[in-house]
Amino acid sequence: MSATPPTGSHAGSAWTGDLAPEEHALRVRELIVEMCGSAEGGHLGGSMSLVEILVTLYRSVLRIDPAVPDDPERDVLLLSKGHGAIGLYAALAERGFFPAEDLATYGRPESLFSAHPNPAVPGVEMPTGSLGHGLPLGVGFALAARLDASPRRTFVLLGDGELQEGSNWEAAMAAGSLGLGRLVAVVDRNSLQITGPTENAVALEPLADRWHSFGWNVHEVDGHDIAELRATLDGIPYDADRPTVLIARTVKGRGLPYIEGQARSHYARLGERPKKRALAILRAQSRKAAQA
């Protein structure tokens, strides 16, 4: 069954300028590149792989209202892979939680926008980044919603390398045992971590079977196909008594062909020329999308 959205919520309504979702994704990528052009730099690759997932959630799925970010009946999104914070900030700005111009302070002393999620930023639920913490927190949020008889749902975005942390599997086991049907995990399966391929560190496959074994509904999707993501997420919750996981196949560094699928994209301090090059590529893609 579907929950009633919080008062004032407009999940699925248009964002700034009534753009197509693919155009919003390109705008989010531009904001990510701008932040990576700061003196501090940022986690470029893993933020770029999250973009379509974040755009789909914030544009079409989450029952939220940027004007009332602490609505007690809102859906909750936890970014467990906290190193994707600049992607989250960019998506929140594009959704209207705060002006995109505010992101120009990223990485500066006393800025709200730090390398990992800061809950002082409107729309950020929890500080994360110590990998393996987000799903256990999600179990707690989902259980609290059940005890409150609340329709709110909890979404947790996980990195695939992060799944090498045992705390995730303890949480997965607990969620399946407790039958937390309003808990949704989305795995950013870009198959890379800072040291290289995930399968060369601690192998995760057969990943879908692992989740199945803990009692989860499992869906595998193209994590860059907004239509497929939305069609899958629109069915949440599939089962009142079982949590759901989406294994989203993605490409690290998506949008910048010269770094796509490369571990070296993990963190970047873009100088002025590399930043201009990246923005030029993204803006060319934006023009092409607008003409399609």
Q: Side-chain half-sphere of 84: how many Cα atoms within 13 Å? A: 35
What string of DSSP letters covers 158-183?
EETGGGGSHHHHHHHHHHHHHT-TTE
Task: Please calculate the CA angle 71-229-64 and round it to the nearest 5 degrees.
Answer: 10
pTM here is 0.93
The reported pLDDT for the residue numbered 239 is 87
Strands 244-249 and 183-189: parallel
The reported pLDDT for the residue numbered 238 is 82
> Would you say residue 10 has pLDDT above 90?
no
The reported pLDDT for the residue numbered 85 is 98
Task: Please calculate the CA angle 16-22-27 and round it to the nearest 5 degrees.
Answer: 55
Q: Give the confidence band of 17 by pLDDT, cuts at 50, 70, 90.
A: low
* Averaged pLDDT of the chain: 92
> Would you say residue 184 has pLDDT above 60?
yes
